[in-house]
Amino acid sequence: MANQNLISLEQDDRIEAAAARLSMDRREFLQFCAALATTLGLPQGADAAVAEAVATKKRPSVIWLHFQECTGCTESILRAEHPTLEKLILDVISLDYHETLFAAAGHQVEAARKTAMAENKGKYILVVEGAIPTRDNGIYCKIGGKTAIELLTECAADAAAVIAIGSCASWGGMPSTDPNPTGAKGVDKVLGKPVVTIPGCPPNPYNFLSTVVHFLTFGALPAVDHLGRPKFAYSRLIHENCERRAHFDAGRFAMEFGDEGHRKGHCLYKLGCKGPETYANCSVIMFGDAGAGTWPVACGHPCIGCTEQGVGFTKPIHTVAKLKNIEPSAFLPRIVEEKGVGASLGSAAVLAAVAGAAAGAGAMVAKNLGLSHKAEEMEQAKKEGSKATESTEV
């Protein structure tokens, strides 16, 4: 099926069955697969491979751990719509362990985790939500009698892939801010090896879904940057594709919340927007799938840089961002240039006097510099003459 044209799959019975499971018609399902392939930056024809994987391949087993976090990552997945994202994710994966979504509790839950790990050894995906406390041997977070460190190490040992979802799991997030009393760290620091990170507070659920679909389609996780972030989602600054970027380039900024520039949708850079130093695709795919304007900047609030370590939860929200690639020119005209009324006779006279004084001072400085230079030359000549005399006497 992967070598076929996507449109030709519209009549395939397997596509129809997959679409029915997701409460979609076949055309919507194929459009969804094409959108995923585009999001991942895959070449032409890969959309058919994505459709094949979602429709026919065995769903990978997923063990989902919770540590120091607010469960916002899970909540964002459950609240996405059009199509219902949690239905898509739960159809693409087999969620065999998830403390928040399990109806069972206690020993039954832990037994389900161990069974899933044993039956899918070397094949399951481990998803970690939340930071891992490491101080005092990790006693500040225990589940089923085990510390977060012990549980993470045990589950990661036989996992085919490890995904850290959210900023807390990716690099410590909010729990790791100073003074970090529990010694909270990201997953990679505890395991001592690279993992795929999907930062955000919460992250966009489509970034997680696309990552899993890539694994399902090709048996490997997508290309990542030096921080383990999928390049398809975190390779560009938010600022580069922001809907307010034109205002930034033109030098039009909101200076206060509620002022004229803010009401007109001008750039929020001077209100502390961290888009110029934050890598994410928020400005491209929005958030929550609820239509246009569903991300902080479009709603009128500066980006806080939640996906970027050293920015989110570290820099004050309204501190001006460090520009990583471009700065607005100071010489660009404003949207409306004020017209001058000319100088009065009095102000012109004062200006002339100031200019005359400055010119006179400049002339004196030049004269003094010249005298000083001549004095230095004379002094140097005296020294050289003295040395020549001494040499002759010897």
Q: What is the pLDDT of residues 65-82, one digit of tens each?
A: 999 999 988 888 776 555
Token duo for residue 184: 């909270």
Mean pLDDT of the chain: 80
Q: Judge contact between 321 and 274, C-beta under 8 A.
A: yes
Say how many C-beta atoms besides its own lie within 10 A of residue 318's C-beta.
13
Does the annotation place 299 within a ligand binding site? no
CB 77 within 8 A of CB 141: no
> Which position has the higher pLDDT, 140 or 53?
140
Quick one: DSSP state of residue 96?
E
Token duo for residue 359? 């010119």
Name the one residue in this structure whose structure tokens are 């729990």: 175
Is the pLDDT score of 34 beyond 90? no
Give the DSSP letter of residue 162.
E
CB 352 within 8 A of CB 360: no
Domain extents in the chain = 61-80+90-202, 236-337
Q: Which of 46-55, 106-115, 276-285, 382-391 has the lowest mean pLDDT?
A: 382-391
Is the pLDDT confidence value at 136 over 90?
A: yes
Is 155 labelled as part of a ligand binding site?
Answer: no
The pLDDT assigned to 239 comes to: 92
The dihedral over CA atoms of 14, 20, 24, 29, expressed in degrees to the nearest 10, equals -10
pTM: 0.74
% the chain with pLDDT above 90? 41
AA letter at 355: A
CATH level 3 topology of 236-337? Cytochrome-c3 Hydrogenase; Chain A, domain 2 (4.10.480)
The mean pLDDT of 95-103, rounded to a whole number, is 83
In the block, which residue shows the tokens 């005298």?
A: 371
In angstroms, the CA 132 to CA 66 distance is 9
Q: What is the mean pLDDT of residues 134-138?
A: 93
Q: Which two tokens stand for residue 226?
A: 């030096």
Which of 312, 268, 276, 334 has its CA nearest to residue 176?
Answer: 312
Angle between helices 46-56 and 205-218 (to 10 degrees): 90
**Which whole number is the average pLDDT over 245-253?**
92
168 known ligand binder: yes
* 197, 170 Cβ separation under 8 angstroms: yes
Residue type present at position 192: G
* Residue 141 assigned as binding residue: no
Distances (CA, A) of 268 to 109, 160, 204, 308, 375: 47, 42, 22, 18, 57
Mean pLDDT of 175-192: 94
Q: At 104, which amino acid appears?
A: A
Angle, CA 308 vertex, CA 307 and CA 309 arms, to 5°: 125
Are 172 and 204 in contact by the 8 Å Cβ rule? The answer is no
- Is the pLDDT at 376 greater than 90, yes or no? no
| Residue 310 φ/ψ region, left for φ over 0, alpha for ψ in the -120 to 50 degree band, beta for the rest | left
CA atoms of 259 and 183, how far apart (whole Å): 42
Whole-number pLDDT of residue 78: 75
Question: With contact defined as beta carbons under 8 Å apart, do 217 and 48 qualify?
Answer: no
Q: Among 4-13, 132-141, 225-234, whose mean pLDDT is lowest?
A: 4-13
- Sign, Cα dihedral of 174, 177, 183, 188: positive
Ligand-binding annotation for 282, yes or no, is yes
Beta strand 132-133 pairing with 94-98 = unpaired
In this model, does residue 367 exceed pLDDT 90?
no
- In this model, does residue 278 exceed pLDDT 90? yes
Short-list 68, 62, 70, CA closest to 159: 62
Q: What is the CATH number of domain 61-80+90-202?
A: 3.40.50.700
